[in-house]
Structure 1
């Protein structure tokens, strides 16, 4: 396997990115947190998707994440 293969995101990194976007500490979020209810908006979601796709995570898709904005589900999709 070369280093050019798809990179998977680390769950802690995803959690840290989401917490930073919300302006909270990662420990304040639970897997049941609805991220839209917590204050995440579509613009910040698009920014996160771009960041994660640039990091080599093609599974980071706006439509998929927006449809189910629950932290635990996002972690399962982004950092299985």
Structure 2
């Protein structure tokens, strides 16, 4: 397994914010992203971006817990600030 994450917390936050049409710092890490308007098509779009960057996350990993903090932990190993 890679000992360095391929994505940063900032990148994950920025990518999600872009698809939601929000500023990255306006996202509450604990808020349900589906409630903010993220849908399955957008999640798949994010997955495509993140896989292209080397991430190995799967759709169910994101869909089961659609909170930014969880996604950041999955993708980077970091906590969401």
The structure with the larger Rg is 1
In the alignment, what sits opposite 2:70? 73
Give structure 2 stretches of 5+ with no counterpart: none
Considering only aligned residues, what root-mean-square deviation do their CA atoms show, in Å? 1.5
User: Aligned equivalents of 2:30 and 2:23: distance in 1?
Assistant: 16
C-alpha deviation, 1:6, in angstroms: 7.5
Tell whether the 8 Å contact from 1:22 to 1:39 is kept in structure 2 after alignment.
yes
C-alpha deviation, 1:20, in angstroms: 0.1
Runs of 4+ residues over 3 Å off in structure 1: none
Tell whether the 8 Å contact from 1:7 to 1:55 is kept in structure 2 after alignment.
no
Query: For this pair of structures, how many residues does the alignment match?
Result: 75
Change (3 A) 1:44 1:22: same
Taking structure 2 as the reference length, the TM-score comes to 0.86
Give structure 1 stretches of 5+ with no counterpart: none
Instruction: State which of 36, 50, 53 in structure 2 corresponds to 1:52.
Output: 50
